[in-house]
Amino acid sequence: MSVVILSDFDGTIVDIDTGEYVLRQFARGDWMTPDAQLERGEITLEECLARQFALVKETEETLLKRIDTAVSLRPGLRDLLDYCEGRGFPFIVISGGLDFIIRHVLGTNDLLNRIEIVAPKANVTKQGITFQFPRLARPNSSNFKDDTVATWKNRGSRTAFIGDGLPDFPAIKAADTRFVIRGSRLSKLCEKEGVNFQSIDNFRDVLRTLTG
C-alpha cells in the first residue's frame, strides 16, 4: 500500500504558530474570541480564520520581514523528506496558515519544490486579509484538513498525519498513523478523547517509526 505523509505547518513544520504570531503583532481588534469559539465548536475553522485575519491590515512585505526574524524549522524535516522521496511517498503540508508565509519559509530553506501545499489562498488587502478555502470533497468533512485525509484514504493510501493544534483534531482522528507534537494542545485533546497517538519532538521521531 502507498503511504502519504500529511503535516500541519504552524507549530509543526516550524517552531512557532506563524498565524498567531501575525495576529499578536498586527491584529487591530479582538482576535482571541474566535479562537475560543472554535475550541467550543461554535464556529468552523474557516469562519475562525476569516474573522481573525480580517483584523490584519498590513502589507505582505511587512509580515514576511517580521516572520523572518521569528521562525525556525523543526529538526529532521530534510531527513524525512529524503526518506519520502526515496520511496515515492507524497509529503503534503495541510495548513490553515497564510499561504504566502508558508511558501516564503519553505522557499527560503530550499524546500518549496519538495512539498505540496494545501492551504487557503490568502488575499492581502487594505481592509484585511481574506481567504479562498480549498473546496471540500465531502460535505460531511469538519474542515479541509480531515477532508484531505479522507481523500487520500479513498484513493487507497495509508495516511500519516503530523500536527499540534486543535484544528488538526478531525484530521488526526481520521488518519491511520498519528504523530502529535509533545505537550501541544492537540496532545491534551487526544488524551482527553481517548485517541491514540505517538508523541514526537521532531521529524526524526517520525522517521524512526516509519523505518522501524
pLDDT band for position 212 (cuts 50, 70, 90): confident
Give residue 204's pLDDT: 97
Cell 529532521 identifies what position? 76
How do 128-132 and 121-125 pair as beta strands?
Answer: antiparallel
The 8 Å CB, 24+ separation contacts for 149-153 are: 149/6, 149/174, 149/175, 150/174, 152/4, 152/6
- CATH number of the domain located at residue range(s) 3-211 in this protein: 3.40.50.1000
Listed in sequence order, the residues at least 6 apart from 99 whose beta carbon sits closer than 8 Å to its beta carbon are: 117, 119, 120, 121, 122
Provide mean pLDDT across the span 20-32. 96
Which amino acid belongs to residue 202?
N
Q: Which helix (H) or strand (E) holds 22?
A: helix 18-26
Classify burial at 37, counting beta carbons within 10 Å of its beta carbon; exposed 0-12, middle 13-18, buried 19 or more: middle
Instruction: Average the pLDDT over 161-185 and give the result.
Output: 96
Q: Is the pLDDT of residue 1 over 80?
A: no
pLDDT score recorded for residue 138? 87
d(CA 160, CA 148) in angstroms, rounded, equals 12
Q: Where are the domains of the chain?
A: 3-211
Residue 4 has pLDDT above 80, yes or no: yes
How far, in Å, CA of 195 to CA of 165, rounded?
14
The set of cell numbers assigned to 118 is 494545501
List pLDDT tens digits, range 119-159: 999 999 999 999 999 988 888 888 999 999 999 999 999 99
Q: What is the mean pLDDT of the chain?
A: 95
What pTM was estimated for this model as a whole? 0.94
DSSP assigned state of 179: E
Tell me the pLDDT tens digit for each residue of 78-116. 999 999 999 999 999 999 999 999 999 999 999 999 999
